[in-house]
């Protein structure tokens, strides 16, 4: 039994070998960033696309073009399976062991919220978290990725109550922060038009059957019914509506539902559903940046179909690269923050010209789409939330 | 020999935060927490042959109990908070243990599996208390005058509690109670015939196991700092079972080693992403095939003892 302690001590000595670097994650030849993401669990597909086929895709392009001021850029990922404790462990490991320069595009509210305080304390940038809860606001080292829920709400109501002149709104929402934050934002934005939600029904997370709620909402006869749900129950809601022949309402979906893959769950019941799309169509858009994205995907990962998750990761890689380029050869965490804050009218070819202000939000827009035969047909140009 | 090993172990545990990079202090805290759960589970499974796939549920109850107590009553001293977390969980263990007396083997495994899901659903539905799906941020606790703000301070708290619980487990298993539990595992009929009260001891094992896991849950809340129902999925329960299988059923030292191996493995496989379950599964199968008694019995066999027959 005397063996074990001495082995552990040896291990301790090996592990304690010092590392020397001026700024963590930045050497003469390399920049290392990292992220905890879902490679297993409910969001595994999304996580893999964002990271390995998104961020890495853009980094391959950058590295083949000579890197960032002569440095190659590389990303390290760990799997948290959507579990907050694993996200905490992974993030600590990335910061303390792998010495990453920044955390890039972590996914999902629970894992992101669990690591927010720690990263802010350590002054490590958290770049473009892929979640929509406004909890990420007001932090020096956090730059929000996805359009936040209150901005989405403003665009949706301005379009539906303002442009389309709808008067009677109802909502079916998931009974948690995601659902409630949308509900509160809807009420507030409808208030500006002298309107309010005429009926609301809630769904607990994990509940698949929403037929009772659909029947009640049907009875209230709204012109517009918001679905603030996750894919499973949302698809059920759409099929249920089809079953009872409820046709005189416009179904509008939020957040994760504006995605072809998930709408496919509802099959033809999804036809006619409208919503806010945060990204141009990755498969068909003829925007310069999206065409380029497809060309690179074909070159580096020919077997992987373009999709909005890898596009989001690709975009995050692009934004990081732009900021690191602006920060210059003397790259530090603080100079990166300053560089990101200085981005004005940056042409990505994917989203409208990008300006990041003191609010640290990188996406503030979306455009209106309608589902037709399993694809999104755009109905508007980019809508604004300011 | 034994004393030297113990002293050596103590030096390593106490000196650990000063010898290794910061991340390994955090990792060691997780190992110690998992070790407490593994000991608790081993008292149930290794000693009375009752298999549980619901220990993530007990961990959740302890974690939420401690977190809510810290938030609602910040003046309650930390040791009491942890004790309360253990007692609340033990009460739930009692409530689960009594009806489970009628179940054996696979049926018990299914019942405990269901229990794990019920706990997660309960956390989701008690959202006025637990903040449901949104998760609960656990404020930094204080131990008397010291704020437990660093990984190192929390590490010392965790290993102290773990040490106390290891000593307690040793006392339980080497007492009359422990021998009664072991007798139950070998043959329930024979044990009953020798005067062991089957129902009482089986329930006791459930309660003690839940208490251990509840205390571990309280420490988990402190160390991780954020709880959500997603933290306590069924795979966590499976990890706990894996710990005692790899470490060795019916062995306290084995529980600790199993916890260390599985936790370290999980941590080092985090980078393998989608291959993680595959690699993890292969290691488990291999250890069952080639090391059926776990690390503890493998060590036992490798170590010649004085007085052993040739």
**Which tens digit of pLDDT belongs to each residue from A236-288?**
888 899 899 998 999 998 865 556 666 677 778 888 889 988 899 898 889 99
Q: What is the pLDDT of residue A8?
A: 53
Q: Are A348 and A293 in contact (CB under 8 A)?
A: no
**Which tens digit of pLDDT belongs to each residue from B248-306?**
888 889 999 999 999 998 888 887 766 777 877 888 888 888 887 788 877 777 766 55
Q: What is the pLDDT of residue A12?
A: 52
Residue A296 clears pLDDT 80, i.e. is over it: yes
- Residue A33 is inside which H or E element, if any? strand A30-37
Radius of gyration of chain A (CA): 22
ipTM of the complex: 0.83
Q: What is the pLDDT of residue B304?
A: 60
Task: Answer yes or no: CATH 3.40.50.2300 is held by domain A17-146+286-341.
Answer: yes
Q: Does A56 reach chain B within 8 Å, measured CB to CB?
A: no
Hey, are the CB atoms on B22 and A96 less than 8 Å from each other? yes
Q: What is the pLDDT of residue A3?
A: 47
Q: Residues B48-61: what's their mean pLDDT?
A: 91
* Interface probe, candidates A84, A98, A133, chain B, greatest B C-beta count within 10 A: A84
Using CA of residue B231, residue B237, residue B240, residue B242, what is the dihedral sign?
A: negative
Q: What is the pLDDT of residue B305?
A: 56
**Which tens digit of pLDDT belongs to each residue from A306-321?**
998 999 999 999 999 9
Q: What is the pLDDT of residue B85?
A: 95
B174: Cβ contacts below 8 Å, ≥ 6 apart: none
Least confidently predicted of A57-71, A247-261, B47-61, B231-245: A247-261
Q: Residues A109-128: what's their mean pLDDT?
A: 92
Residues of chain A with CATH 3.40.50.2300: 17-146+286-341, 149-277+367-378
**Length reported for chain A:** 386
CA A258 to chain centre: 12
The DSSP annotation for B82-99 comes to HHHHHHHHHHHHHHHHHH
* Interface probe, candidates B273, B298, B303, chain A, greatest A C-beta count within 10 A: B273
Fold type of domain A149-277+367-378: Rossmann fold (3.40.50)
Copy the structure tokens of residue B277.
């379950």
Q: What percent of chain B has pLDDT over 90?
A: 38
| Nearest in space to A147 (alpha carbons), one of A375, A376, A367 | A367
The rounded mean pLDDT for chain A is 88
**Which tens digit of pLDDT belongs to each residue from A183-221?**
999 999 999 999 999 999 998 877 778 899 999 999 999
**How would you classify the pairing of strands A224-228 and A250-253?**
parallel
Query: How is chain B split into domains, by residue range?
Result: 24-234
CA A206 to chain centre: 21
Q: Residues A350-369: what's their mean pLDDT?
A: 91
Residue B49 clears pLDDT 50, i.e. is over it: yes
User: Which class for A244: exposed (0-12), middle (13-18), buried (19 or more C-beta within 10 A)?
Assistant: exposed
Alpha helices in B73-230 (DSSP H): 78-100, 105-125, 127-130, 151-173, 176-186, 188-193, 198-224
Q: Residues A55-75: what's their mean pLDDT?
A: 95
What is the CA angle A30-A31-A37, rounded to 5? 130
Q: Are B58 and B214 in contact (CB under 8 A)?
A: yes
Closest CA of chain A from B228, distance in Å = 7
Q: Does B9 reach chain A within 8 Å, measured CB to CB?
A: yes
**Full-model pTM:** 0.85
Closest CA of chain B from A146, distance in Å = 18
Q: Residues A161-188: what's their mean pLDDT?
A: 89
| Residue B139 DSSP class | P
**Which residues on chain B are in Cβ contact (under 8 Å) with A205?**
124, 132-133
Q: How far is the C-alpha of A124 from the C-alpha of A118, rounded, in Å?
A: 9
| Nearest in space to B76 (alpha carbons), one of B141, B151, B164 | B141
Closest CA of chain A from B239, distance in Å = 13
Q: Residues B194-220: what's their mean pLDDT?
A: 91
List Cα–Cα distances, B129 to A153, B145, B214, in angstroms. 28, 28, 18
Q: Are A367 and A378 in contact (CB under 8 A)?
A: yes
Hey, are the CB atoms on B26 and A92 less than 8 Å from each other? yes
* Interface probe, candidates A4, A5, A38, chain B, greatest B C-beta count within 10 A: A5
Copy the structure tokens of residue B79.
């040791």
Hey, are the CB atoms on A12 and B16 less than 8 Å from each other? yes
Q: Which of residues 80-139 of A touch B (CB under 8 A)?
A: 80-86, 88-90, 92-93, 96-97, 109-110, 113-114, 117-118
Q: What is the pLDDT of residue A129?
A: 94
Strand partners, A201: A172
**Which tens digit of pLDDT belongs to each residue from B156-182?**
999 999 999 999 999 988 888 888 888
Q: Does B140 reach chain A within 8 Å, measured CB to CB?
A: no
Please report, for chain B, how many H helices and E strands are present, in that order.
14, 4
Q: Are A51 and A75 in contact (CB under 8 A)?
A: yes
Q: Which residue of A has its CA nearest to B232?
A: A83
Residue B146 clears pLDDT 90, i.e. is over it: no
B278: Cβ contacts below 8 Å, ≥ 6 apart: none
Residue B308 clears pLDDT 70, i.e. is over it: no
Closest CA of chain B from A351, distance in Å = 30
**Which tens digit of pLDDT belongs to each residue from B68-117?**
999 998 888 899 999 999 999 999 999 998 888 888 878 888 999 999 99
């Amino acid at each position: 039994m005397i063996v074990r302690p001495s082995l552990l001590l040896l291990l301790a000595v090996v592990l304690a070998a010092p590392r020397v670097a001026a700024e963590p994650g930045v050497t003469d030849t390399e920049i290392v960033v990292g992220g905890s993401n879902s490679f297993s669990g409910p969001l595994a597909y999304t996580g893999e696309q964002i990271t390995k086929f998104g961020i890495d895709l853009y980094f391959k392009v950058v590295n083949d073009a000579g890197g960032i001021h002569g440095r190659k850029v590389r990303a390290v990922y760990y799997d948290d399976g959507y579990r907050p404790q694993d996200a905490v462990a992974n993030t600590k490991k990335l910061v303390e062991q792998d010495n990453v320069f920044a955390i890039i595009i972590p996914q999902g509210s629970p894992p992101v919220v669990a690591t927010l305080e720690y990263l802010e304390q350590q002054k490590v940038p958290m770049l473009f978290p892929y979640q929509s809860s406004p909890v990420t606001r007001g932090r020096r080292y956090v730059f929000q990725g996805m359009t936040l829920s209150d901005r989405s709400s403003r665009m949706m109501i301005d379009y539906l109550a303002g442009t389309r002149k709808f008067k009677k709104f109802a909502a079916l929402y998931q009974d948690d922060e995601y659902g409630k934050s949308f509900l509160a934002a809807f009420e507030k934005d409808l208030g500006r038009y002298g309107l309010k939600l005429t009926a609301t029904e809630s769904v607990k997370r994990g509940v698949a059957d929403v037929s009772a709620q659909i029947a009640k909402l049907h009875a209230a006869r709204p012109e517009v019914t918001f679905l603030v749900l996750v894919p499973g129950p949302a698809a059920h809601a759409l099929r249920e509506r089809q079953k009872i022949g409820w046709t005189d309402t416009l179904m509008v979906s939020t957040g994760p539902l504006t995605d072809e893959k998930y709408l496919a769950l509802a099959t033809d019941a999804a036809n006619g559903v409208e919503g806010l799309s945060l990204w141009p169509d990755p498969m068909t858009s003829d925007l310069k940046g999206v065409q380029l994205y497809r060309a690179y995907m074909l070159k580096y990962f020919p077997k992987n179909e373009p999709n909005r998750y890898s596009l989001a990761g690709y975009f995050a890689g692009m934004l990081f690269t732009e900021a690191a380029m602006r920060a210059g050869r003397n790259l530090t965490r603080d100079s990166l923050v300053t560089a990101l804050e200085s981005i004005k009218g940056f042409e990505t070819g994917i989203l409208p010209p990008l300006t990041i202000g003191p609010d640290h939000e990188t996406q503030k827009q979306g455009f209106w789409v309608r589902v037709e035969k399993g694809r999104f047909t755009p109905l508007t140009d980019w809508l604004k939330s300011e | 020999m034994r004393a030297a090993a113990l002293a050596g172990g103590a030096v390593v545990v106490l000196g650990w935060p000063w010898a290794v990079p910061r991340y390994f202090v955090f990792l060691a805290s997780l190992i110690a927490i998992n070790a407490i759960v593994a000991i608790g589970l081993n008292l149930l499974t290794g000693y009375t042959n009752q298999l549980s796939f619901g220990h993530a549920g007990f961990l959740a109850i302890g974690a939420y109990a401690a977190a809510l107590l810290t938030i609602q009553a910040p003046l309650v001293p930390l040791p009491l908070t942890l004790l309360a977390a253990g007692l609340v969980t033990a009460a739930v263990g009692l409530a689960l243990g009594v009806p489970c007396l009628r179940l054996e083997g696979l049926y018990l495994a299914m019942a405990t599996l269901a229990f794990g899901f019920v706990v997660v659903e309960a956390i989701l539905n008690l959202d006025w208390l637990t903040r449901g799906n949104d998760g609960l941020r656990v404020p930094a606790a204080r131990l008397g005058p010291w704020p437990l703000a660093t990984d190192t301070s929390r590490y010392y708290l965790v290993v102290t509690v773990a040490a106390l619980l290891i000593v307690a487990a040793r006392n339980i298993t080497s007492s009359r109670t422990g021998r009664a539990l072991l007798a139950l595992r070998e043959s329930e009929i024979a044990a009953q015939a020798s005067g062991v009260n089957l129902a009482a001891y089986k329930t006791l094992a459930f309660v003690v196991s839940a208490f251990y896991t509840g205390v571990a849950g309280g420490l988990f809340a402190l160390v991780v700092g954020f709880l959500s129902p997603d933290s306590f999925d069924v795979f966590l329960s499976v990890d706990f079972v894996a710990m005692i299988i790899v470490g060795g059923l019916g062995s306290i030292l084995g529980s600790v080693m199993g916890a260390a191996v599985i936790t370290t493995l999980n941590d080092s496989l985090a980078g393998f992403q989608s291959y993680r379950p595959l690699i993890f599964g292969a290691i488990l199968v291999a250890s069952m095939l080639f090391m059926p008694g776990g690390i503890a019995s493998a060590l036992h066999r490798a170590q010649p003892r004085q007085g052993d027959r040739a």
